[in-house]
Structure formats: C-alpha cells, structure tokens
A = this chain, B = another copy of it.
C-alpha cells in the first residue's frame, strides 16, 4: 500500500541542503555544512561533550568525526579539554570565534526554516518532526 516515503524524503533533504548551502556563506569560513552541524552541537554542550557523545547524537562515523574536529581545532573554533574521568577521551570547547560562526549559522538556518514552513501550521510542523523521529527510531530498533 502507501506509496514510497523515501522519494519525497530524498527530495526534501536535497532541497534543504541546497538552500542551506546558499543561505550560509560557508566558503568564507573555510568550513562545510557538516562542520557546522558539529560546531552547533559543541556550542550547545560547551565543554561538556566528547567526540563519542557527538557520534551517538548524529550517527556520524567516528573516523569522520575525528577528522572534522581536527579541522575545527586547526581553524581555532574548537579546543580539546582533558577529561579527568577518562584519559582516552576529552571534552570539546568552543572559542569566541566559533561562537560567532554559530550565531551567523543560526540566523541562516532560521531563514531556511521559515521558508520551509511557509503555509504550514505549528501543529503540522510539530507532527512532522514527531513522525520523523518515530520513523528513525523504528529503523534504529531494527538493528
């Protein structure tokens, strides 16, 4: 029954990515959308988040994430802090420069968000998010 959910989903994500790339002057900052995704999380949990925490949250491959963090550190947006409870890992902190970028990023994202939500009610948006999470959970449980 029910036609394919995948195709509209693919299309939507494709459009979101394109819009975000346009909305954000990423080139100037030397970082990619994926960097920003990580940077946002570090900003949110400043000095209280480890690389592994981010892997759990985002499902980004840990090797990939190690590279991203390394690059963010190289750019001076992020720093590592010793984790006294586990010497294998470290907490991630964000610099003032990093915060500036996150701020710009949020503005750009909000613009895209608003565009995307045009003509929809808050209830519909909330439902959409709820359903997306539900479906992701279904798939996740399957593993």
Q: Which residues of A contact B (CB under 8 A)?
A: 1-6, 8-16, 18-20, 37, 58-59, 109, 112-113, 115-120, 122, 124-129, 131-136, 138-140, 142
Closest B residue to A138 by CB, please name it: B118
Q: In the complex the two chains form, what is the Cα distance from A18 to B124 in whole Å?
A: 27
Q: Which of B8, B116, B135 contacts A138 (CB 8 A)?
A: B116
| Interface pair A115/B134, CB less than 8 Å apart | no
**Which residue, A122, A127, A132, A133, has most C-beta atoms of chain B within 10 A?**
A132
23 A-B pairs with C-beta separation under 8 A? A4-B113, A5-B113, A5-B129, A8-B132, A9-B9, A9-B12, A11-B133, A12-B132, A12-B133, A12-B135, A12-B136, A12-B139, A15-B135, A15-B136, A15-B139, A15-B140, A16-B139, A18-B139, A19-B142, A116-B135, A116-B139, A119-B138, A127-B131
What is the count of identical protomers in the complex?
2
Closest B residue to A118 by CB, please name it: B138
Q: In the complex the two chains form, what is the Cα distance from A117 to B27 in whole Å?
A: 39
